[in-house]
């Protein structure tokens, strides 16, 4: 009787094969026997050489970690992705070595058939920083495309791989259905303006405090974006070092069964403990610890946490386009968001 494999023993691998005489055409596949598969395409190499080259996904080292991508994207129903073209437009590198490949790319390659994708398009930024430790290849911008069977890499003349390059914008406008990536925090304002203005569906990572930032509040107020399911606390820097940063997923894809609804404590004002409610110098109510009064009509101020937990999906709205800066006893305290029951 064959021995049943445990979860830790059963692993699948994404492999990409490129023939020497067809430099821009590749074959993609998934296997649970990587050694056998690589032998078929790497005759002349010893098993040791093959396995040294073939690193497992669990050893990935990316800006965004694979586990964070998988944790969030698996929360959405497969119907969201079916027959859709996914566009990863922020340095989503692709390489034969999974350690040098974007976690977004790895996820969509592995789940391509399961999700029923139509096409995956990824762009790689040809910048001065070797973001994915690709060596000299890092500085050459390209466009990676696959329909689940064939893979193509194009190197358009004059293309730098940036999300706002005319070629990238043309792909966004003409081909993309859903955009999924981790845009650079330093260009977050430009990216949000572009992606929301495009009218396309998106699922992206950005700073957790965007909810109370004057630049982004109008988008939340207009119901053009809302929080995804999860925070992202750890990233890899260009040196592959684990770095802590306060990120969160944001999207305009409908959220079903948001688990963090349970963290909202929507109760009558009298039931909120005194230490979690107070009035500022202008008599505006401030509430903390995810307590939300359900029996007052005037606007009140909350921190980012209730917004991230889905407060705007529970019958409340943001009432001004900028953050609220309360003063208590003449001293300014941390900024909040002014909300009101609908």
Task: Give the pLDDT confidence of 308-322 residue by residue, as tens digits.
Answer: 999 999 999 999 999
Tell me which residue has tokens 């043309």.
170
Q: Are 277 and 202 members of one domain?
A: no
Instruction: Check residue 96 and give its pLDDT.
Output: 72
User: Tens of pLDDT along 206-227?
Assistant: 999 999 999 999 999 999 999 9
Residue 1 lies in a domain: no
Task: Give the residue numbers spanning the domain of 44.
Answer: 11-54
Residues contacting 78, CB < 8 A, separation 6+: 114, 115, 116
Residue 38: which pLDDT band, with cuts at 50, 70 and 90? low
Which residue, 191, 218, 251, sits at the end of a domain?
Answer: 251
Q: Is residue 61 part of a domain?
A: yes
Report the domain count for the chain. 3
Domain assignment present for residue 37? The answer is yes
Q: Do residues 103 and 125 share a domain?
A: yes
Instruction: Give which of 107, 67, 59 is closest to 234, Cα–Cα.
Output: 67
Say which range, 4-18, 153-167, 276-290, has the weakest mean pLDDT. 4-18
Distance between CA atoms of residues 245 and 247, nearest Å: 6
Contacts of 196 (CB under 8 A, 6+ apart): 202, 219, 224, 225, 252
Q: Are residues 310 and 161 in the same domain?
A: no
Tell whether 234 and 278 lie within a shared domain: no
Cα 267 → chain centroid: 33
Q: Are residues 288 and 324 in the same domain?
A: yes
330 belongs to a structural domain: yes
235 within 8 A of 265, measured Cβ to Cβ: no
Same structural domain for residues 122 and 175?
Answer: yes
Is residue 226 in some structural domain?
yes
* Contact (CB, 8 A) for 78 and 114: yes
In tens, the pLDDT along 276-305 reads 999 999 999 999 999 999 999 999 999 999
User: Of 251, 283, 318, which marks where a domain is finished?
Assistant: 251
* 75 shares a domain with 15: no
Residue 76: inside a domain, yes or no?
yes
């Amino acid at each position: 009787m064959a021995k049943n494999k445990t979860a830790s023993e059963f692993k699948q691998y994404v492999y990409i094969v490129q023939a020497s005489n067809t430099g821009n055409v590749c074959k993609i596949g998934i296997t649970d026997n990587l050694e056998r598969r690589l032998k078929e395409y790497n005759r002349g190499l010893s098993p040791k050489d093959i396995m040294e080259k073939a690193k497992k996904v669990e050893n990935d080292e990316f800006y965004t970690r694979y586990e964070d991508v998988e944790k969030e994207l698996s929360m959405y129903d497969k119907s969201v992705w079916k027959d859709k073209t996914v566009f990863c437009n922020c340095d989503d590198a692709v390489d034969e070595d999974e350690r040098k490949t974007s976690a977004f790319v790895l996820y969509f390659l592995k789940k391509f058939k399961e999700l029923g994708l139509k096409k995956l398009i990824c762009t790689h930024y040809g910048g001065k920083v070797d973001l994915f430790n690709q060596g000299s290849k890092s500085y050459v911008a390209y466009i990676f495309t696959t329909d689940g069977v064939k893979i193509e890499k194009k190197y358009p003349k004059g293309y730098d791989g940036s999300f706002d390059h005319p070629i990238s914008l043309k792909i966004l406008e003409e081909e993309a259905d859903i955009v999924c990536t981790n845009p650079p925090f330093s260009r977050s304002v430009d990216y949000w303006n572009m992606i929301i203005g495009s009218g396309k569906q998106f699922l992206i990572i950005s700073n957790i405090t965007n909810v109370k930032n004057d630049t982004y509040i109008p988008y939340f107020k207009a119901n053009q974006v809302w929080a995804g399911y999860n925070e992202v606390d750890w990233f890899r820097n260009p040196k592959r070092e684990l770095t802590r940063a306060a990120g969160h997923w944001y999207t305009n894809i409908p959220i079903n069964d948001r688990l963090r609804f349970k963290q909202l404590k929507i109760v009558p004002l009298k039931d909120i403990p005194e230490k979690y409610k107070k009035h500022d110098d202008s008599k505006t109510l401030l509430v903390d610890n995810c307590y939300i009064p359900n029996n007052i009509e005037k606007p009140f101020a909350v921190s980012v946490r209730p917004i991230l937990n889905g407060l705007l999906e529970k019958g409340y709205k943001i009432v001004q386009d900028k953050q609220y800066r309360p003063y208590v006893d003449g001293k300014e305290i941390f900024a909040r968001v002014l909300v009101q029951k609908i």
